[in-house]
Structure 1
Amino acid sequence: MYWDAWSLDRLLILFVSAAFAMIGIQVTMFHYRQNFHHKSMWVPVVSAPVFFATGLALTFYNANWLRLLFVVFMVLGAIDGLVGVYFHAKGVGVRVGGYAMRNFLIGPPVVLPFLFTAISALGLLAVYWR
């Protein structure tokens, strides 16, 4: 099945794909800087390019199986972001001084995993909003 036109949902899926490409680069740089000291740091680094490719494919070819795959990936992305918030908040807390403001400024960015969740939620909205 091909798309009939560039509708809002199609544009949003393209935007979500581009956002995952950009956030994937940022997450890779941050986690590389920390030497991937925890294995869970690999999850957004590996998943972001996969989400990008799936969304880009769905933008140009509207197949039901591809749409389902995109939805599954967006649900996983939302969960991954929430798990990331936990790990980042925990990472701030283990620094000297605990949850002091300076540790939020120099420690792991607690808000960045929320962005991963928000982009995934936008992808789900693009698919299901009518």
Structure 2
Amino acid sequence: MYWNMWSIDRILILFVSVAFLVIGVQVTMFHYRQSFHNKAMWVPVISSPIFFIVGIVLTWYNASWLHTSFTVLMWFGVVAGLIGFYFHFRGVGVRVGGWALRNFLIGPPITLPLLFSAMSVLGLISIYWKAR
């Protein structure tokens, strides 16, 4: 396999896909630790492997329906991450002491949902970017 023959969008899609696999493992561990007390916790746990599978297939098989599916999933990932950020930020605030620094350190990680959104944005960049 000659990597120098791959376009940057293909490499980015591969990177984003593998990153979602890793993020999915981390999210699953965090949400399992909290016993999935909110049904919204299942969204990144279920969607991350789907993002991974569609992205990997798109990396190897260039079909228009896969591009469309990947694009829709990445937009969903942006929105899901922003909603997750809201839940995590609110989760820090309901802890004893409110939005104190120690609650940001031991409470729900507010940056992880933003990473979910950021990785989805990178996936969208790989789809929409046109080299000139």
- Normalising by structure 1, what TM-score? 0.96
Structure 1 residue 17: deviation in Å?
0.2
Stretches of structure 2 that go unaligned for 5 or more consecutive residues are none
Return the alpha-carbon distance in structure 1 between the equivalents of residues 42 and 98 of structure 2: 25
Residue in structure 1 matched with residue 124 of structure 2 by the alignment: 124
Residue in structure 1 matched with residue 28 of structure 2 by the alignment: 28
Indicate the percent of aligned positions where both proteins have the same amino acid: 64
Does 2:99 align with 1:99? Answer: yes
Residue in structure 2 matched with residue 65 of structure 1 by the alignment: 65
Return the alpha-carbon distance in structure 1 between the equivalents of residues 57 and 124 of structure 2: 16
Q: How many residues align?
A: 126
Return the alpha-carbon distance in structure 1 between the equivalents of residues 67 and 31 of structure 2: 30
Structure 1 residue 37: deviation in Å?
0.3
- Normalising by structure 2, what TM-score? 0.95
Structure 1 residue 118: deviation in Å?
0.3
- The Cα offsets for residues 43-89 of structure 1, whole Å up to 9 and x where unpaired, read as 00000000000000000001000000000000000000000000000
Structure 1 residue 126: deviation in Å?
0.2
Structure 1 residue 95: deviation in Å?
0.1
**RMSD of aligned alpha carbons:** 0.4
Instruction: Find runs of 4+ consecutive structure 1 residues off by over 3 angstroms.
Output: none
Query: What is the SS of the residue equivalent to 1:108?
Result: coil
Residue in structure 1 matched with residue 19 of structure 2 by the alignment: 19
- The Cα offsets for residues 77-127 of structure 1, whole Å up to 9 and x where unpaired, read as 000000000000000000000000000000000000000000000000001
Which AA in structure 2 matches 1:22? V
Return the alpha-carbon distance in structure 2 between the equivalents of residues 105 and 129 of structure 1: 37
